[in-house]
Structure 1
């Protein structure tokens, strides 16, 4: 394979926001490397995108819960001569419930996926981009990054890390030809809540969820424009603006009420 072929690498690309981002990049003629855990899902999405957009799609079944996985992914693609000119760190999970009752090993897996794998991939591909003097990185943050998260304490904390990390490395590299953007969605209609065992929360039962295609479009356009970050959705922009006027204690209490189980008052 030619070493001059450039690709967009997207983790978590088989569903939700990652899948919608993959379609947007493909529609603009970008070759893709899509990464997820299950080869059947990857192959289904790859076949769909290749047929619809006449691009090349490489699949890599990697479990980013494993510390070695992002290093192995980078090495695999380098050995194949794949140049990644855009990195999209979309993969992420949460676990709903009180921290004291959660499985610590599940929480450590979430930290590995949401933080450690993202940091490793960003480090490896940022260095490659700096060598070439060009590249783009889109990190999936969340409006959760701006709020303490009762019933979702570790997830909110991981997104606070992602947001702070993304802002910092953007500043470090702002004059080096690499665009680094954070996408902050709110509650979005994806499989995230099912995986997090969160379907009974008020946020899911009573809230209005955003369309993942709309969220992806906001992120894609912000990256292409070179923006530092984008908050997806007017309501989320408004809530975050109001949140700046609140104490962390007040924000935590507000989030507690939003995220508690929907039937709490009946028990």
Structure 2
């Protein structure tokens, strides 16, 4: 699917109720982590960390941290036993992040204040990663995220847990609501509000289905990711890699990675 539509997602709207946004983020974290969606990109991150000699990941637009713990554990078990991850977001999710912080004995930490991915404070080190969020940004802002990484000579990896296919749109529309209704009682940390807005006032399922379908339509295919990278790095300071990594289920993960050449 080469078509890209810049539609809106509820979770992006400033007025959207935080309690509903948090419930949606918790569901996505549970699903992405449970299915280990981002395990195929572990070798890509391993290569990037070796090139940049980093021992820390700085996650931008982290949401509830879906998939981050699994990636961290896989990298720790390989060549990076001291690896740490700092979670940040424009809309921080400290409750969800604290849960991950405790589960990982401090391996995953977080910044409770808002962080703009287009203007990352120079005081935040690490190889930058964006999981399941780059599609939220229109081209000018998506390019600005890459420009900021190039300007600060900070390596960056952009990863999207889908391959941008029409069948993924159908699955998001038909399977996601059933899965959400079935697994909600098992999501931790437990929130009464999550049950309320899933079963009694079903805002979480309705908005998650819409956002899930729109997310796929908003994904940047590999050629557009590379074009954004080249505009952000017109003098060729970075080494860029782009493509699709295959998940065990047959699905794909879109990726763009880049780091300073020297």
Report the TM-score range of the alignment, normalised by the length of the smaller protein. Answer: 0.3 to 0.5
Structure number with higher relative contact order (C-alpha < 8 Å, ≥ 6 residues apart): 2
Larger Rg belongs to: 1
Report the TM-score, using the length of structure 1 for normalisation.
0.42
